[in-house]
Structure 1
Amino acid sequence: MPAGSSAKRERQYEHIKESQEKRGASEGRAEEIAARTVNKERARSGESKEAGKTSTQDKKSAYSRGGERSHKGAQGPTKDQLYEEAKKKNIDGRSSMTKDELRKALGR
């Protein structure tokens, strides 16, 4: 934790770290996740001197975003993400479509 962190942030860090370790993350990975999460929350609440654009301008927390920005690399969005988008656009036959078929139906 950064020097000068509040007791609340220290507790938050420990809680996240322990939770990650219970889920099977290594100690180093658990510490990294906890530190990143706490630092982002500090930035969002104005407790840090510097903050990244996404930390301060996100409307939703990472938890509520639910992986919206994940899987944008070589593989693209997941089949479930494509299905949800197709559902919003009322594309017929979406439940029996493959990932590639969903992608084509959505014009991707």
Structure 2
Amino acid sequence: MAGQNLKGFARLYAAFINSLAGVRATWHHEEAFRQECWLTLAGVPLGLWLGETGIERALLVGVLINVLIVELLNTAVEVTIDRIGIERNNLSGRAKDIGSAAVLSSLVLAGSVWFLILIR
């Protein structure tokens, strides 16, 4: 992990590089993340076009980006659990299921926001 003991702009730059590495790793290893990225890539311009107010556009785009954020966090949980051990463990399974539920919740939120804004 680059960036330890750095200060100021150098620390921010190192954090940015680490973040890009995390996105690349998730893209490479997680099919769901790739699908959600494609959904977001299509949805952002559509949300900007369909939203009538700044708030609507922010909501339509924001919930899509939220799905990506939750997927990244879920992937981090899964990778950490797998790093600890690959043997079956009820707590590990529960943690992975909870992370998956968070992703599902973010998708339900996104769908609900899009539906409620577009039915007006």
- Scaled to the shorter chain, the TM-score interval is 0.3 to 0.5
Instruction: Tell me the TM-score normalized by structure 1.
Output: 0.33
- Considering Cα pairs closer than 8 Å and 6+ residues apart, tell me whether 1 or 2 has the greater RCO: 2
Whichever of the two has the greater Rg, that structure is 1
Instruction: Tell me the TM-score normalized by structure 2.
Output: 0.30
- If each structure's helix is expressed as a fraction of its own residues, which one has the higher value? 2
